[in-house]
Amino acid sequence: MDFTYAPHVHEIVRRVRAFVDTEVIPVEARTLASREGLSAAGLMELRAKAKAAGLWAPQLPPDLGGMGLTLSEIVPVFEAAGRSHLGILALNCAAPDEGNMHLLNHYANADQRERYLRPLAAGEIHSGFAMTEPAPGVGSDPNMLRTTAVRDGDEWVINGHKWWTSGGTGAEFLLIMARSNPDVPTSKGATIFIAPANAPGIEFVRDIPHMGFDDLGGHAEIKFHDLRVPHSSILGNEGDGYALVQARLGPARLTHCMRWTGIAQRALEIATRYAAEREAFGKHLSEHQSIQWMLADSALELHAGRLMMQQAAWLLEQGDQARQETSMCKVFVAETVNRVIDRAIQICGGMGISRDLPLSKWYESARAFRIYDGASEVHRMVIARKVIKQYGSV
């Protein structure tokens, strides 16, 4: 495996980092100070600047207006964009739209590409991904899927209850996971349907309040009451829903890791600068061994996470499902990010827990990373199964 990136990737990383540092972070600072979040007009302004700078949608092919980078190439690019939670929105590579674009680009038919993918790729709309359900519905166990889709002629009738529908509030359309064949396991009996968000039969219950940043489109609770969609609204083929979700979640777990590594790296930089400037007990904090070890631990864990992402991305590009490697990466990076931000807050002390720095807000938001796209415990279960299969026999 070659660990070097091509010169054009290094140049893109440099440009993205400069764009985030000069254009995005000042906006981030203003939104944190006002506590009102980024307005729609503010987001459109940032996106216009990203397009003008030639930094739009690194993950998309050129025919969709993107930069055409491979999964391996976007590892450092997404990290640079992820230095601010607004950077990934500015470049149109934030969840859930990034994962939805990935699915649509690979599986949408011609009509679906024109109606949904192209405006989504252009940043004109945003989308929602409706899979998770309140108990006793599907969470970490896909076999608990309760939302149903029943065939009625050339239509499907969908009924169910979803929550944590990422991007669901104000979305133009939803990707809906539903059980289309109750007589077989979910792996063969689930289908993804595309529906306009304003279709009759869709009830938006609420945008769920949660820790941390308010993401674009929030996380909606939605009910489906005899929602009728045409057979042509199926993404891929009937019964392929579970396979499509797996195709989406593998890369999506990595892109979450890439983006959050950008935040964690910036937290390390903030803590290091503070430690180099702040004096206590007769010397700078950075001269105290306890502080040095915290900085060292954060740097080495981030380095290990980057290598894990790079290898998992490479495996996926070779056609390997890389389930073991993406699970390992998700657990390690999610827990690393939490530790790095926690150490940064500890080093910065009172400044760290204040809203004068973004660390406390990141700390709140990063906690969820150990839950979404597979909780750490679930991924450990997946990893352990393979370990037992490999080494458990006497």
Judge if the upstream peptide bond of residue 96 is cis by omega within 30 degrees of 0.
Answer: yes
User: For residue range 357-387, what is the model confidence (pLDDT) as tens digits?
Assistant: 999 999 999 999 999 999 999 999 999 999 9
User: For residue range 89-120, what is the model confidence (pLDDT) as tens digits?
Assistant: 999 999 999 999 999 999 999 999 999 999 99
User: For residue range 325-365, what is the model confidence (pLDDT) as tens digits?
Assistant: 999 999 999 999 999 999 999 999 999 999 999 999 999 99
Asked whether the predicted pLDDT for residue 182 surpasses 90, the reply is yes
- 222 with 173: CB under 8 angstroms? no
How many residues comprise the chain? 394
Q: How many CB atoms lie within 10 A of CB 386?
A: 12
Residues 187 and 117: their CA atoms lie apart, in Å, by 26
Residues 204 and 220: their CA atoms lie apart, in Å, by 7
Which amino acid does the sequence have at 18?
A
Q: Which domains does the chain have, with CATH numbers?
A: 7-94 (1.10.540.10), 127-239 (2.40.110.10), 245-391 (1.20.140.10)
Could you please report the per-residue DSSP string of 301-367?
HHHHHHHHHHHHHHHHHTT---HHHHHHHHHHHHHHHHHHHHHHHHHHTHHHHSTTSSHHHHHHHHH
Tokens standing for 276?
């180099």
- 92 with 255: CB under 8 angstroms? no
Asked whether the predicted pLDDT for residue 394 surpasses 80, the reply is no
Residues 42 and 32: their CA atoms lie apart, in Å, by 14
The number of C-alpha atoms within 13 Å of 71 and in the hemisphere containing its C-beta is 23
**Reported pTM:** 0.95
Asked whether the predicted pLDDT for residue 35 surpasses 90, the reply is no
* pLDDT confidence of residue 140: 86
* 219 strand-pairing partners: 166
Asked whether the predicted pLDDT for residue 38 surpasses 80, the reply is yes
* C-alpha of 370 from chain center: 12
String of b and e for 180-211 (b: at least 16 CB within 10 Å)? bbeeeebeebbbbbbbebeeeebebeebeeee
Q: Which residues contact 179 (CB under 8 A, 6 or more apart)?
A: 145, 146, 147, 148, 149, 186, 189, 190
* pLDDT confidence of residue 249: 84
pLDDT tier for residue 212 given thresholds of 50, 70 and 90 = confident
User: For residue range 224-256, what is the model confidence (pLDDT) as tens digits?
Assistant: 999 999 999 999 999 999 999 988 888 999 999
Mean pLDDT of the region 273-300:
97
